[in-house]
Structure 1
Amino acid sequence: MLDLRRDPLGTFRNAQRTHGDVVRLKAGPPGLRSVFHAVFAPEDVQQILASQAANFRKDHPFYEEVRQSFGNGLLTSQDTDYLRQRRLVQPLFTKRRVDGYAAAVATEAGALADRWRTARNDTVDLVPEMNRLALRTVVRILFGLDAEEAVAAIHRCAPVINAYVVQRAYLPVKPPRRWPTPGNLRARAATDELNALCDRIVADRRAAPRTSHDPHGPSTPHVPSAPQVPSAPGSPHGRTADTPGDGHGDDDLLSLLCAAGNAEDGSLDPTEIREQVLIFLLAGHETTATSLAFTLHLLARHPHEQATVHAEIARVLGDRTPTAADLDRLPYLTQTLKEAMRLYPAAPIVSRRAVDATEIGGFRIPAGADVVVAPWVTHRNPALWEDPERFDPRRFAPEREAERHRYAWFPFGGGPRACIGQHFSMLESVLALATLLRSYELEAVDQEVPVAAGITLQATGPARVRLRPRDGAGE
């Protein structure tokens, strides 16, 4: 238990090296001992996340702590609650809808590039800088405004809640949350502040008249009842759910959440909307911030790869602002991002609980057993990745990706619970990286960045780089 609390990433990696791809771990003092299974081989990960996903539920204590802190949103809900939420929310994340958010991404990334240009110090720490960029971007897309109040509150409250959730997840005996301990009181105050903020914004948005020029009013999209909806046909009246924003102020995600509904599932009530917003805010910005910070830092440490990326960006963009169409025109930048997500997956450990006894990798997993899959470990398995610690974006050339098992790389999870926002994350990351790298060359100050596993992967030290404006950029 002490090893898992001090260094869960190292503990799981050592378990795989020493014992193989299915490992039973026993942790904790006698009488309070936890027993769980760690699974690392891609084919076994696929079994847990995809082919037998119904047998591996989010009943793990870690998810219960997340559920208690952030509510029953898409990340934590299950069964009919999850299927209903997914059907209602899916139309907000179709490719066409997400592509409509490209301008907001470019605006926020461009503002950061301008701020760096006027900063006195030419050295920045990518960890807080990318956290701020990703948070401002998701706030703009969620709320359709430059909400400094929301940004400040999340910066203040999210670290408190995240630390509290992780600490409780590893406790063999958990004191009730209602007890007035210092930790409980701090976490409750932070949770109450975020809930009040979201409730106020949701109430204001529900009360505000829609400003769309659609003569039929807000559309009510009909969504098929399948749990995974590749696309959603819109209402026969007015604008469809698949149409990018029209710029009239009612096409941000919050407005769409408030308007979402269909005959089968009804609509989301204010509490459900708040819970979805909290998940989008916290999970959406922290994961993207991690990917951005480590991609830029890895490029700063590898000048040759950075030069290749710069050449591609210059050839594709020139002096213009990137758009959603450029996502497919920047393949090497996309490969670089994927390689950074291999080495630093934002969700390094994923937990489930087995419903029925089953066999994984030739070993019997009993009913009720806790099971962990770890992208951090699978992404570093030398049987899957040659020289796995080496940064090499060419691993993700299309022909090499086609040769690998689907679950050798799974930063977005997989199966029916795969991240609903993965296209949004890739779009945001590639366009933000293109905007920043078009303006700057980066030189690493810190060669290594220590990390730890929280709800998401956390940098525990700085990732400083020295900025050098590129010739002609920003003129």
Structure 2
Amino acid sequence: MAETTANDVEVATKPPGPDELPLVGSLKEFFEDPLQFYTETADEYGPVAYFTLGGNDFVTVSSPEYVKDVLVNNDDEYVKGQQFDDLMGPICGNGVLLAEGDFWQSQRETLEPAFDPETLSRHCQVMTDYTQRRMDRWTSGEERSVYEDLMYTTLEIAGKVLFDFDVRPLDGDIPAAMETVRDYVARRLWRPVEVPEWMPMPGKREYREALALIDETAYTIIDEAKASDSDQQTVIDLLLDKDDPLSRQQIRDEVFTLLLAAHENTTLSATYTLQLLAKNPYAMEKVHAELDDVLDGDAPTFADIPRLTYLDKALTESLRLYPPVYSMLRETKADTTLAGYAIPEGTTVSCQQWAIHRDSTFYDDPLSYRPERWTDEFEERLPGFAYFPFGGGPRRCIASRFAKFEVKAILATMLRNWELETTLEKIEFKPSISLRPDTDVTMVPTPR
């Protein structure tokens, strides 16, 4: 951890890590399976480990104590970083996801009212109605892509709840455009070497066309919100009411950032929970029994959602095993230390939900899906940051409470009247910025 100089002064050294090839570092092992690489690196080299990818410095953090140091205790020593900005900047601009410093703080404070409990109480019926509208397309025994169904549903909910906007009449397929953008970002993320933006690359034309469609959608949302005489206060209203008016481009950045985050992570959370429940009949039976008892055949209301305690455990356990944000990236602003190790300026630091959530130090039988583990006593014993699907510290997900409520409202609406049989033995992943499935997630619905 430290070396001693001739004057007996301890000097921090870099963290331990794998033996690597010159120049390429751990590229081969990482790109073969990044999730396995993160897990094995934590197991072999400890809670703070160092590796390189193509000459770039990386540190993985797989201890709750040191994650807290990065995200809370010393958060002012870290930023989202150049890698994250290069990937997401063309999409989210200077929205709340990427902004830094005082401007980020101002934007976050402006947007927080959009996700408070009063907003949830007003819009629970939108969540359940829009979910039911999608399920009205289901036919008993017909294989459905629940991933696609959820992708459209969550986008429609986000448009209505956040912007009082109906995305369905728009020209173009917005969910498909978002998927194209995410695919392109994933290819850039896992590219072994950085390729100049001017070079032709597979999928670049489709990416630019998708981004143009999303831009057009964002500006349509802004213009219609400005022209609306609705009493509903939207995110656009919050942004327009700032003392320091925002540019049209900046409002676009916030609109798209919120659409992307509300749409993708909610879709993934609901998809993975359905898959895990379908593979665990006992847990599914418990969910169905609770829905029958609490809802008595009716659609869930705002007052019902907190009463669905087993469904809450089922979602909590799903977010442990398959967290949509599986690795939280930061970058050091200057040379610093972590756990006594030297971390140079510009190092990408990865706080590891994937590894920590599956650590037997904190979870018995960690690879098993066990909603029952989430008792009050268990949560009280669990160290802080042994479970952090929504991040933590000042930049904890602004919509975490909102997102969990929405997923539970969607799942309750889907499962109160339907049995779902999965067609997949297991989900394979294609991790990029988020933990995305490598194949479609399809199921066969049967009325209950």
Establish whether TM, by shorter chain, passes 0.5.
Answer: yes
Structure 2 residue 175 is the aligned partner of structure 1 residue 139:
no
- Distance across 1 between alignment mates of 2:134 and 2:176: 21
- Give the AA of the match of 2:36: G
1:344 aligns with 2:322: yes
Please give the secondary structure, in 2, of the residue aligned with 1:128: helix
Shift of 1:445: 2.6
Mapped to 2, the partners of 1:149 and 1:379 lie a distance apart of: 41
Q: Residues 382 and 388 of structure 1 are in contact (CA less than 8 Å); yes or no, is this contact kept in structure 2?
A: yes
For 1:94 and 1:467, the matched residues in 2 are separated by: 34
Q: Retained in 1: the 8 A contact 2:165–2:221?
A: no
CA distance in 1, matches of 2:165, 2:46: 50
CA apart distance, 1:354: 1.2
Among 248, 269, 274, which residue is 2:247 paired with? 269
**Residue among 25, 36, 45 paired with 2:51:** 25
Give yes or no for contact 1:102–1:431 (8 Å, CA) kept in 2: yes
Matched, 1:14 2:34: no
TM-score by length of structure 2 reads 0.89
**Alpha-carbon distance, 1:186 to partner:** 3.1
Q: 1:380 to 1:259 in 2, by over 3 A?
A: same
1:203 aligned onto 2:229: no
Contact 2:59 2:350 in 1 (8 A): yes
What is the CA-CA distance between 1:151 and the residue it aligns to?
A: 8.9
1:290 equivalenced with 2:268 (yes/no): yes
Counterparts of 2:131 and 2:214, CA distance in 1: 25
Tell me the residue number matched to 1:247. none
Where does the alignment leave 5 or more consecutive residues of structure 1 unmatched? 213-249, 471-475
* Whole-angstrom distance in 2 between the partners of 1:188 and 1:176: 16
Answer yes or no: is 1:45 the counterpart of 2:62.
no
1:188 is displaced (CA, Å) by 2.3
Deviation at 1:182, TM superposition (A): 5.1
CA RMSD of aligned residues (A): 2.0
Structure 2 residue 370 is the aligned partner of structure 1 residue 392: yes
1:438 Cα deviation after fit: 0.6
CA contact (8 A) 1:62 1:166 kept: no
The alpha carbon displacement at 1:192 in A equals: 1.9
Check whether the contact 2:56–2:347 (CA below 8 A) recurs between aligned residues. no
Partner of 1:369: 347
**Cα–Cα, structure 1 residues 181 and 310, in superposed 2: closer, same or farther, change >3 Å?**
closer
Take 1:296 and 1:201, find their aligned partners in 2: how far apart are those partners?
Answer: 31
Q: State how 1:56-455 maps to structure 2 within 5 Å.
A: 56-116=78-138, 119=139, 121-150=141-170, 152-171=172-191, 173-179=193-199, 181=201, 183-206=203-226, 208-212=227-231, 250-254=232-236, 256-261=237-242, 263=243, 266-455=244-433
Q: Percent identity?
A: 29
| 1:69–1:165 Cα contact (<8 Å) kept | no
The structural deviation recorded for 1:152 is: 4.7
* Contact map agreement 2:333 2:345 (CA 8 A) in 1: yes
User: Which AA in structure 2 matches 1:260?
Assistant: D
Which residue number corresponds to residue 8 of structure 2?
A: none
Letter aligned with residue 233 of structure 2:
D
User: Which secondary structure state, in structure 1, belongs to the residue aligned with residue 173 of structure 2?
Assistant: helix
Deviation at 1:169, TM superposition (A): 3.3
Q: Which amino acid aligns with 2:261?
A: A
Q: Secondary structure at the match of 2:385?
A: helix
Contact in 2 for aligned 1:62/1:165 (Cα 8 Å): no
Query: What secondary structure, in the 3-state scheme, does the structure 2 residue paired with 1:408 have?
Result: coil
Change (3 A) 1:181 1:340: closer
Tell me how far apart the structure 2 counterparts of residues 26 and 74 of structure 1 sit (CA, whole Å). 29
Measured against aligned partners, the alpha-carbon deviations of 1:43-69 in whole angstroms (never above 9, x if no partner) come to 111111111111111114133320133
Cα separation, 2, equivalents of 1:181 and 1:340: 36
Using the alignment, how far apart are the partners of 2:203 and 2:264 within structure 1? 22
Contact 1:139 1:150 in 2 (8 A): no
- Cα distance in structure 1, aligned partners of 2:443 and 2:200: 43
C-alpha distance in 1, partners of 2:431/2:103?
28
Counterpart residue type for residue 5 of structure 1? F
| Partners of 1:384 and 1:271 in 2: CA distance | 45
Cα deviation for residue 252 of structure 1 reads 3.9
Quickly say closer, same or farther: Cα 1:434–1:151, change in 2 above 3 A: farther
Q: CA separation in 1, counterparts of 2:228 and 2:346?
A: 50
Query: 1 CA distance for matches of 2:171 and 2:81?
Result: 31
Deviations 1:382-439 (A, max 9, x none): 1111111100012222221111012011110100000001111011011111111111
Aligned to 1:298, what secondary structure does the other structure show? helix
Instruction: Decide whether the 8 Å contact of 2:72 with 2:394 is kept in 1.
Output: yes
Residue 158 (structure 1) shift: 1.6
**One-letter code aligned to 1:288:** T
**1:35–1:370 contact (8 Å) kept in structure 2:** yes
Q: Which sections of structure 2, spanning at least 5 residues, go unmatched? A: 1-26
Asked if structure 2 preserves the Cα contact closer than 8 Å seen for 1:450 and 1:461, the reply is: yes
Separation of aligned partners in 1, 2:184 and 2:294: 45
**C-alpha separation in 2, matches of 1:455 and 1:152:** 25
Q: How many residues align?
A: 422
Letter in 1 for 2:377: E
Distance 2:200 2:445 in 1: 47
The one-letter code of the counterpart of 1:13 is T
Alpha carbons of structure 1 residues 170 and 123: separation in structure 2 relative to 1, 3 Å: closer
State the AA in 2 paired with 1:269.
S
- CA distance in 2: counterparts of 1:99 and 1:10, whole angstroms: 41
Which residue of structure 1 lines up, in the alignment, with residue 18 of structure 2? none
| Alpha-carbon separation, structure 1, partners of 2:79 and 2:380 | 29
CA contact (8 A) 2:333 2:346 kept: yes
TM-score, normalised to structure 1, is: 0.84
